[in-house]
Each structure stands twice: as C-alpha cells, then as structure tokens.
Amino acid sequence: MKNPLITIIIPVYKVEQYLEKCVDSIINQDYTDLEIILVDDGSPDQCGEICESYAKKDFRIKVIHKKNGGLSDARNVAIDVALGEYITFVDSDDYVSEDYVSTLYELIKKNDCKISASGFTRFEQDDVLKVDNEVIKEYVFSPNNAIKAMFYQKKFDTSAWAKLYHRSLFSDGLRYPVGLLYEDLATTYKLFRKSDKVAFSTKETYFYLIRSTSIEGAPFSQKKIDSTMEIINQLESDFNNLPQFKRPLSSRILNFSFHILLSMPFDNANRLFLINKIKFYRLTVVKDKEAKMRSRIICLLSYLGINNVNRILKIIK
C-alpha cells in the first residue's frame, strides 16, 4: 500500500546562513513520499537562489517566490497549492531529525487521527545539541484535552511546527492570520477543535534555534503588543462560554502577558492592558494545581508588585 504524499511547507526569509542545514535535514528524511514547498517570502539576501539550487537537485522541491507578506502569508500561499494528504511546517532556521516525518505519520496511522505532534529541543547557535530520547512516551488526547494540555504548555505548545495535519483541517478556509505576530497561538487550537483526536510522542524530532534576529528574539516593537492584544481578545471571545477551559486559558493568557511584558519598555502606553490581564487571571492560576509551578510562583510574587516581578524575570532571563 503506497504511502500518502506529505507536504512540508518552509517559509524562507533572511535565513541564508541556516537554510541549507534546514533543507538538507528535510530532503534526507527516511519518509520519502514528500512534496517540499520552499516559500521565498521576498527575502532580500541569497535565499531565493539557494531555494532554486535545491529545486534543481530534488524533483520533490517546489519554490514559490512572492512579495514579502510575513510568516502567515507565506504558509497560506503554500497551503493553497499543497498536494499532500498531510501537511507539516518547518521554520527555515530550524532543522529536524531524519525520522521527523515518519514519527509524526506513524502516530497518525497508529491512532487513526488527523493531528500528531512530537517533542522538540531548543538550542542556541553554539550549543552542543543534547537530545533525550531514552524514554519515549505516547499519548492520545480528545480535542478538548489536547487544547487544555497545549494551553498549560506541559507536553506541547501552540507552535505550528512539530505537528502533522490532515489537509481536510484547512479545507474550509482556515488559515493563519496575516499581519499578526504569534499567529500560531491564534490558530492551532482551531485546528485541534476540528480534529477527532490528537496523538503526541515525547520523541524529540524538531530542533528549534533561538536567535536574536527571530520574531521572538527581536527587540520590542509596537506590532508585538498590537498582536498580543488582538490575540488575547480573540481567545477570550472564543472560549467565553466554555467554562471547562477557564483554568488552562487563564494560565496561557497569563504566561503570554508576562512574556510580552518582559520585553516592553516601562513607558509603553499599553502596559496597563497586560497588567490588568495579569491581575484578572492570577488568582485562578495560583489556585490551579495543574498550572506550572513557575507560573503559580510568579503570580504569587505579582501581589508584591507586577513591575517588581518584571524586574526579577529580566534578571533571571
């Protein structure tokens, strides 16, 4: 029985020093029935030429050159033309293990579900990568329980990558929000809602590079807080009448708020929005035994003054 075609979507922008390692890790997958879409999102460096050189060497690679529109737009353009029965995403400054695709697909096949996820490892440029796959565990979640686990950030997070999706989940026009940062937080739970089950393996198959020039590592910009406010409002609206999500949603919004607050200048006019969200959700998180201990401790400290906690977190970071 022939394996299904799996599409790997890789948005590419200003990553010429990382791109070859990323693409090499993908073309060397032990699962070979792949469609690999490299989306040159108007990159001003040599990324477009690098993409074309790979397309000449591997017939599975397709290149899309487009005007810069951001990560969501690049993903959406590729989703619209993808031929695979399943879709996965890889960021172009990251790379994956040779069994990344096969691990995710075997989870789907084994559990007869539409979404799978695997573990990942964060690393910095000069790190010696340490992968801990000695004990591998697998879990199967209902959609609601998968969303709860994701909001608690205990087994997997909201990232688009390190997950495999059946293409039908995108069939009714569900796409990533163009113009927003943190687009995964605004999208992944919607995909989970449409799935029957979500299978997860702790096996670390995705390697996430932490770099200062990424969206996460870049200096604070007004777009960060604008996106944060819009996404928090969206989450609150979508889960407003679903009391079973109150605690995990509180935990995710609080952690997200503190994360952005940590990078904001003290004179930014929108700090009050985040401070009010923290004050609103912190008691729920403190009392929630399922929330991460670090989150509960930070919430307790916030009663001594949120700005003081912010200073402490900056020192720790």
pLDDT score recorded for residue 80: 98
pLDDT score recorded for residue 317: 55
- Return d(Cα 140, Cα 133) in angstroms, integer: 19
Statement to judge: residues 84 and 159 lie in one domain: yes
Structure-block tokens of residue 215: 């969206």
Q: Give pLDDT tens digits along the chain (317 positions).
A: 689 999 999 999 999 999 999 999 999 999 999 999 999 999 999 999 999 999 999 999 999 999 999 999 999 999 999 999 999 999 999 999 999 999 999 999 999 999 999 999 998 877 667 787 889 999 999 999 999 999 999 889 999 999 999 999 999 999 999 999 999 999 999 999 999 999 999 999 999 998 765 555 566 788 999 999 999 999 999 999 999 999 999 999 999 999 898 888 888 889 999 999 999 999 999 999 999 999 999 999 899 887 777 666 666 55
Q: What is the three-class DSSP state of 314? A: helix
Statement to judge: residues 126 and 261 lie in one domain: no
φ and ψ at 274, to 5 degrees?
A: -70, -40
Domain containing 55 equals 6-210
Cα dist. 71→18, 127, 181 in Å?
Answer: 17, 26, 8
pLDDT score recorded for residue 225: 94
pLDDT score recorded for residue 175: 98
Q: 226-272, pLDDT tens digit by residue?
A: 999 999 999 999 999 999 999 999 999 999 999 898 888 888 889 99
Statement to judge: residues 37 and 177 lie in one domain: yes
What's the pTM?
0.93
Question: Who contacts 283 (Cβ-Cβ below 8 Å, separation ≥6)?
Answer: 299
- Return d(Cα 105, Cα 70) in angstroms, integer: 28
Q: What angle do CA 101, 161, 135 make, to 5 degrees?
A: 60
Statement to judge: residues 82 and 203 lie in one domain: yes
pLDDT score recorded for residue 131: 81
Number of structural domains the chain divides into: 2
Statement to judge: residues 87 and 165 lie in one domain: yes
pLDDT score recorded for residue 202: 96
- Return d(Cα 99, Cα 26) in angstroms, integer: 10
Statement to judge: residues 25 and 117 lie in one domain: yes
Q: 3-21, pLDDT tens digit by residue?
A: 999 999 999 999 999 999 9
φ and ψ at 103, to 5 degrees?
A: -60, -50
Q: Which of 210, 241, 272 is the last residue of a domain?
A: 210
pLDDT score recorded for residue 280: 97
Statement to judge: residues 261 and 203 lie in one domain: no
Statement to judge: residues 69 and 147 lie in one domain: yes
Alpha-carbon torsion (132, 133, 138, 144), positive or negative: positive
Statement to judge: residues 194 and 267 lie in one domain: no
Statement to judge: residues 239 and 162 lie in one domain: no
Q: 87-113, pLDDT tens digit by residue?
A: 999 999 999 999 999 999 999 999 999
Could you tell me how far CA 37 lies from the centroid of its own chain? Answer: 18
